[in-house]
Amino acid sequence: MVSAVVLLTVERARINQVAETLSGMQGVSEVYSVGGRYDLVAIIRVKDNESLAELITNQMLLVEGIDDSETLIAFRVYSRHDLEKMFSIGM
Amino acid sequence: MVSAVVLLTVERARINQVAETLSGMQGVSEVYSVGGRYDLVAIIRVKDNESLAELITNQMLLVEGIDDSETLIAFRVYSRHDLEKMFSIGM
Amino acid sequence: MVSAVVLLTVERARINQVAETLSGMQGVSEVYSVGGRYDLVAIIRVKDNESLAELITNQMLLVEGIDDSETLIAFRVYSRHDLEKMFSIGM
Amino acid sequence: MVSAVVLLTVERARINQVAETLSGMQGVSEVYSVGGRYDLVAIIRVKDNESLAELITNQMLLVEGIDDSETLIAFRVYSRHDLEKMFSIGM
Amino acid sequence: MVSAVVLLTVERARINQVAETLSGMQGVSEVYSVGGRYDLVAIIRVKDNESLAELITNQMLLVEGIDDSETLIAFRVYSRHDLEKMFSIGM
Amino acid sequence: MVSAVVLLTVERARINQVAETLSGMQGVSEVYSVGGRYDLVAIIRVKDNESLAELITNQMLLVEGIDDSETLIAFRVYSRHDLEKMFSIGM
Amino acid sequence: MVSAVVLLTVERARINQVAETLSGMQGVSEVYSVGGRYDLVAIIRVKDNESLAELITNQMLLVEGIDDSETLIAFRVYSRHDLEKMFSIGM
Amino acid sequence: MVSAVVLLTVERARINQVAETLSGMQGVSEVYSVGGRYDLVAIIRVKDNESLAELITNQMLLVEGIDDSETLIAFRVYSRHDLEKMFSIGM
Amino acid sequence: MVSAVVLLTVERARINQVAETLSGMQGVSEVYSVGGRYDLVAIIRVKDNESLAELITNQMLLVEGIDDSETLIAFRVYSRHDLEKMFSIGM
Amino acid sequence: MVSAVVLLTVERARINQVAETLSGMQGVSEVYSVGGRYDLVAIIRVKDNESLAELITNQMLLVEGIDDSETLIAFRVYSRHDLEKMFSIGM
């Protein structure tokens, strides 16, 4: 599993709508609307690097209303949970 | 469930160690070591605001090796997964 | 009670008008027009997280004339005053 | 009444202690520990400019553990509450 | 006397014109066109906080050609000169 | 007359002391302790460029307690006041 | 051989297209689409300074869809590979 | 002689044209197109402060295609060369 | 092949030494010493994500003299060259 | 001729001394002490890229008292003056 955290700044009037669109995409596990410098944080869990490139540049970043984005690609994930299993079961 | 995303900058030589310490804490669901401006991203899922305050100020931020941190408290979570159920089952 | 501090940058010609609109909203306890990097600071006191999400994303941030905003959600409030009581009495 | 909002960055291990010290000072009405770029936000309500200068430079900023501070002095306060009356009663 | 220093960024082609407009306003004691990150620095000397709010938000910041501004409200002034007397005589 | 505006960040515990030292220097007309990103703003009025270089690099910037400084040298001054006359009379 | 690393921010919808256009230019050895603050990183290897100026200002920076760019010109290259030979062979 | 260094950000497609326009102005001794955060650096050598103000605000900054500029006015110049003589001979 | 671009800030006196140490590591294909905001740029080409995590956190970032680093992990590489083949041949 | 502009931040008490040391180096044509965000700006004119690397990393950046530096390497120089001839004559 390859993971990434995407920090997003969104047009104020579209925060809910963008969050819903993103969270409906295959590979986007969850989207947080947050306080602070960013508006949304999306967590991505896909099977390999190629799927990550595809999801981010061909789908996510084309959503209207996104002003700015910064993708933090994960080297490693540390967790007591078996995330890989949980999220494939959950899907 | 109350969630937060914590962006952390860590002393270079302690990245693995800090990630392991954080991911072992009750309430820290996962820790990503990431490329970009931050070193680690921790995802927190606790039951209420008081537990969040307790976890962050009394436990997480006292870990040695953390240089800087920025906590993004979530207003809302958008997901196709039933995260609340998955993570309590997972615990 | 859940509290938040919202730092706002506003179109120069609309500072007074935005401040008045915000301060009239249920849940916005006070709005300061300030010197420095921000134009307005709004203090929010609502009963729970859901009301906070509702107030900020569905009401406050839709006000015309706001250029930028940063919401600082409070973990805890420290005060010699019984703010919860004062502000419900005051309403 | 003269008001100010002070944004503070504090040594991680001393956040609770600094918040308690500040909130105990005459003229500091409340202190929020917050998520985001700052650690604490203090709200100041004093009777005139001279008291503000005295409180900030001679008392607040000498508290140990404060790394950085930015004082936003208020031009005006907009509120449906009679803050001046509430906080003198509350004292 | 209440004083403030206003740091201004101005459209390049209007620097002289904005400086002249500001320096003609009652309460604006002098305007410097400067090198560095800002274009103009205005020094304000008025009789009280209410006049400061009035001058800055209702007059200065409505001048066309101002791109950005940051108002530094003074706590105190230190000078060997009797500025209060000099500037009332000078008016 | 050559003028400059110096924006200073100062160790918190020494703000008053640094302000007093600076305001006592020949050529420093006034020092403001201010809210916002800077701690002090000094206004300099000297007779020529050589005096400015001498005052700033050989005197002002050697004062202990200054953490950071940014000198904005003025191209021009716009004022209804005859500042050159006022400040030489005032000296 | 003269080398440079160009950090590029690109309109979200055109990342793939800009990367392909740049990577097809003579002198652009490779283009990375990356996570983090930048969208693309281009590596340039040309024969002398004049070719570098020509390539960057007359060709690369005229490509539509580039929002911002920062060119890091190399003083020196350190490598166990004979890059100069490899890339001329490779062309 | 009064000197200044002007750091300029320019529309990408006009870098060469702006550099040529600036370098043709009386008082602009040389213009560098550079790598890094800025696009052009102009060196100014004029006879006095008044000429500097005139050149920068009335001529240079009105050139079309300049997005941003920061003027660093020199206090002093240190050189083994007699720049004042060289550049008047050179004109 | 997985690639990454690492932007490094290094203690001034150790730039050459750090560049040589990094360029000698298996997986670091080349290191540029550059002008601009960063001191060194390292290009990494390894076989998979796990090797990338290993190289960066366990080897590169432990080198003495590195002040700051930002790793840009590549989604994709665009090149007319067969980089994968060239660099394995070159090794 | 290869040129570069070096922006330097220097310990306040050593500005004059660092400027004199730098301006005495072969290849450093002039050093300006300036107002604004930087303390010194050095202009470098050397015969080729190798001399530039040698001068900057082995000589200039080892001078004590330099806190930070940013080297802007020139692609091209635009001037009505024959700088190459003037500075070799001047040497």
Matching residue, tokens 């989604």:
I75
Tell whether D32 lies on the interface with A, counting CB pairs under 8 A. no
pLDDT at G88 (0 to 100): 64
Domain that holds residue B52: 2-90
SS3 label, residue E67: strand
Residue E81 has pLDDT above 90, yes or no: no
Tell whether I59 lies on the interface with B, counting CB pairs under 8 A. no
Q: Could you tell me which of B72, B64, B56, B5 has the C-alpha nearest to residue B34?
A: B5
* Segment I36-58 mean pLDDT: 92
Chains that touch B (3 or more CB pairs under 8 A): A, C, D, G, I
Tell whether B37 lies on the interface with G, counting CB pairs under 8 A. yes
Q: Flag if H53 and E36 touch (Cβ within 8 Å).
A: no
Residue D91 has pLDDT above 60, yes or no: no
pLDDT at G90 (0 to 100): 42
CB–CB of I66/I18 below 8 Å? yes
Q: Flag if J72 and I36 touch (Cβ within 8 Å).
A: yes
> How many independent structural domains does chain G possess?
1
CB–CB of C14/C65 below 8 Å? yes
pLDDT at I88 (0 to 100): 64
Q: What proportion of chain G, given as a percentage, has pLDDT over 70?
A: 96
Chosen from E7, E9, E12 to mutate, greatest number of chain H CBs within 10 A: E12
Residues 6+ away with beta carbon under 8 Å from I82: G90
CB–CB of D52/C44 below 8 Å? no
Residues 6+ away with beta carbon under 8 Å from F7: F38, F40, F41, F69, F70, F71, F72
Q: How many CB atoms lie within 10 A of CB D48?
A: 12
D56 confidence band (pLDDT: 50, 70, 90):
very high
Helices (H), F4-82: 15-23, 49-53
Average pLDDT along chain I:
90
J91 confidence band (pLDDT: 50, 70, 90):
very low
DSSP conformation letters of I7-76: EEEE-GGGHHHHHHHHHTSTTEEEEEEESBS-SEEEEEEESSHHHHHIIIIIIGGGSTTEEEEEEEEEEE
Q: Flag if I71 and B36 touch (Cβ within 8 Å).
A: yes
pLDDT at G29 (0 to 100): 95
> Closest approach of chain J CAs to the CA of F79, in angstroms?
23
Tokens representing G24 are 């097809």
Q: Which chain A residues touch C4 with a CB distance below 8 Å?
A: 35
Poorest-confidence range of B52-61, D16-25, I38-47?
B52-61
Q: Flag if A41 and B79 touch (Cβ within 8 Å).
A: no
Task: Write out G15-62 in H/E/C secondary structure.
Answer: HHHHHHHHHCCCCEEEEEEECECCCEEEEEEECCHHHHHHHHHHHHHH
* Amino acid at site A18: V
| D16 vs F80, higher pLDDT | D16
B80: CATH: 3.30.70.920
Residue B91 has pLDDT above 50, yes or no: no
> Closest approach of chain D CAs to the CA of A67, in angstroms?
20
Of the candidates I30, I79, I90, which has its C-beta nearest G77's C-beta? I30
Q: What is residue J11's DSSP assignment?
A: -
pLDDT in tens, chain A (91 residues): 899 999 999 998 899 999 999 999 999 999 999 999 999 999 999 988 889 989 998 899 899 999 999 999 998 999 888 777 777 644 4
| G5 vs I1, higher pLDDT | G5
User: Distance between CA I87 and CA G83 in Å, rounded?
Assistant: 10
Tokens representing F25 are 């220097």
Matching residue, tokens 């919401």:
C71
The parts of chain F modelled with pLDDT lower than 50 are 89-91
Q: Flag if E37 and J35 touch (Cβ within 8 Å).
A: no
Tell whether J50 lies on the interface with I, counting CB pairs under 8 A. no
Residues 6+ away with beta carbon under 8 Å from A73: A2, A4, A52, B34, B35, B36, G35, I73, I75
User: Distance between CA I33 and CA I19 in Å, rounded?
Assistant: 7
List, for residues E25-50, the tens digit of each pLDDT value. 999 999 999 999 999 999 999 988 88
List, for residues I60-82, the tens digit of each pLDDT value. 989 999 999 999 999 899 988 87
Q: What proportion of chain D, given as a percentage, has pLDDT over 90?
A: 69
Tell whether H77 lies on the interface with J, counting CB pairs under 8 A. yes
* Segment I45-54 mean pLDDT: 89
Chains that touch E (3 or more CB pairs under 8 A): C, D, F, H, J
Residue C88 has pLDDT above 70, yes or no: no
Chosen from E2, E50, E69, E75 to mutate, greatest number of chain D CBs within 10 A: E75
Residue H66 bridge partners (DSSP): H10
